[in-house]
Chain A
Amino acid sequence: MIRDITIGQYYPADSVLHRLDPRVKLTGTLVYIVSLFLVKNLWGYLIAALALAAVIRASKVPFGYIVKGLKAVVILLLFTVCFNLFLTSGTPVFEWKFIRITKEGLYLAFSMAVRLTLLILGSSLMTFTTTPNELTDGMESLLSPLKKLHVPVHEVAMMMSIALRFIPILLEETDKIMKAQQARGADFESGGIIKRAKAMIPILIPLFISAFRRAGDLAMAMEARCYRGGAGRTKMKPLHYHGRDAGAWITMAMFVAVIVVSRRF
């Protein structure tokens, strides 16, 4: 069901990870993604996967819940794997008519699949453990040096967090509209591609209209509360680093060191 798409949503729980400073989590995710691209061999992937598993464990977010988020990108994953598997040249290990799989292709397909999976799991873990508000604050504070270059940092951070906040709302709306059209006899499951594409019209049009209506309402509500952007705005809960954040920085540094060392094997 459409509601099962969990990517980008917050999962409330009481864990160390939830309590970490959002800046640490944002940087940590970035560091993790970069280090995935530093990995050169199986050992590296194993370490990265184990590290992620440990962090997921510590986050208290059910594993099944996180994996559900992968469903949305399964197609993308399959595409990457197929492209790498069939279109890489090198020493062939399997040949049949025009299909040809090479040793290099196998390795490349495997590593791309692992990399993508870890990347998606890692970044969705961040949104699972960080509320949109914290995420905005963290992002704003991390990007604040760019303010000197006249980048509208506050606005960008606000837009991103609103976009994140809208994902579950629009999913719920889609679910409602689908049900309403199904109640009028609409059929989304049968027929060829063209018929199915046409069947989307009764969903997409109301969805767009409702997205615009919601955006308009939100803008109005923000203005009614005198929202006027970042300049001079203070925070109710300013971000402060705690002891646990220092621990997280150290863990992160150790992880990067281990990954770099793993390249030598």
Chain B
Amino acid sequence: MSIIIDQLNYTYSPGTAYEKQALKDISLVIEDGEFIGLIGHTGSGKSTLIQHLNGLVKATGGSVYYNGADIYDADYNLKELRTKVGLVFQYPEHQLFETTVLKDVQFGPKNLSLTPLEVDLRAYGALKQVGIPDDLIDASPFELSGGQKRRVAIAGVLAMEPEVLILDEPTAGLDPKGRDEILDQIAKIHDERHITVILVSHSMEDVAKYVGRIIVMDHGRAVFDGAPKKVFSHYKELEGIGLAAPQVTYAVNALRERGILVKTDATTVQEAKAAVLAVWKG
């Protein structure tokens, strides 16, 4: 059970003046239950890549296998794939359309032809999981704050109970508190539902705290792929492609350069603290 991406290539508007190759020879294996951070500079192809995973965009070259089946086979059921691989787009609040929050969240499960009871159960469950209080359930989605809209939109995808949840910059444009809340909830969903989560982000800090594996994209290529510690050890190269390691990585490396022998693989403040204390105590 996994997603296999093999030699994926994608070109926008081929054969015109606007031709743009957005993905170049990407090969990846994504195992069940992984929590992956997909990072890259703006325009590096992150959004394009994830739209391949549920078949919304068809590659101009290469293949994608979901649980062993080629999703580009003529008789492959793409509609079913889309219910298994849940994709939350960048600024998902722009897709809200119903009169109440609850109805909007029910849209997805209703498309799965479930019983009304099951639709309700899933909708309420998803809203609870993203932290929408009960008194907002019958409000109009357009009356909510930006962060609340974002949660409702995420609940709309969660309610379909996907096996893989992909979120495209779920924290863009939120304040630090809203950002941490949403990321905490996503981490909780990953733990409780045992699903695969792919989190697209600009921010190394966000990602380092939660994910078990980081994929770095640059100009349509996957340039680094591995555990956060391993990826951040390339912090000089990351800077070269317009990204940065978490600030604590710089802090521990600076200490090391001054001759203090701390371990330099810390990626979160807690780990850095532990590393410094370890030296302190000898």
Contact = CB atoms under 8 A, between A and B. Distances in A.
Given A12-B17, A202-B107, A209-B142, A183 B96 contact: no
Q: Which of B15, B86, B96, B97 has the most CB of A within 10 A?
A: B97
A3 B83 CA distance: 25
A185 B82 contact: yes
A184 B94 contact: no
B121 interface: no
A185 B112 contact: yes
Contacts of A184: 95, 107-108, 111, 156-157, 160
Interface residues of B, number: 27
Q: Is the interface of A mostly helix, strand, loop or mixed?
A: helix
Interface string A187-209: 10000000000000110011001
Interface in B63-95: 79, 82-83, 86-89, 92, 94-95
Given A183-B157, A184-B107, A206-B96, A62 B142 contact: no
Contacts of B7: none
Given A12-B17, A182-B82, A184-B111, A206 B97 contact: yes
B160 A185 contact: yes
Contacts of B87: 183
A207 to B, nearest CB: 9
B13 A177 contact: no
B168 to A, nearest CB: 10
A186 interface: yes
A41 interface: no
A185 B108 contact: yes
Contacts of B54: 183
A16 interface: no
Interface string A66-100: 00000000000000000000000000000000000
Contacts of B156: 184
Contacts of B97: 201-202, 205-206
Contacts of A181: 95, 107
Contacts of A205: 97
Contact of A183 (B86, B94, B142): B86
Contact of B89 (A64, A180, A185, A186): A180
A13 interface: yes
A178 to B, nearest CB: 9
Interface in A26-65: 62, 64-65
Contact of B16 (A65, A180, A185): A65
Nearest to A202: B97
A210 interface: yes
B95 A180 contact: yes
Contacts of B92: 180
Contacts of A210: 94
A205 B97 CA distance: 6
A179 interface: yes
A206 B149 CA distance: 13
Contacts of B79: 185, 187
Interface string B93-127: 01111000000000110011000000000000000
B170 to A, nearest CB: 14
A174 to B, nearest CB: 12
A19 interface: no
B56 A182 contact: yes
Interface of A: 3, 11-13, 62, 64-65, 176-177, 179-187, 201-202, 205-206, 209-210
28 contacts: A3-B13, A11-B17, A13-B17, A62-B15, A62-B16, A64-B15, A65-B16, A176-B89, A177-B94, A180-B95, A181-B95, A182-B56, A182-B82, A183-B54, A183-B86, A183-B88, A184-B95, A184-B107, A184-B157, A184-B160, A185-B79, A185-B82, A186-B107, A202-B95, A205-B97, A206-B94, A206-B97, A210-B94
For the complex of A and B, 10 pairs with smallest distance between CB atoms:
A185-B111, A205-B97, A180-B95, A184-B108, A183-B87, A180-B89, A179-B56, A202-B97, A206-B97, A12-B17
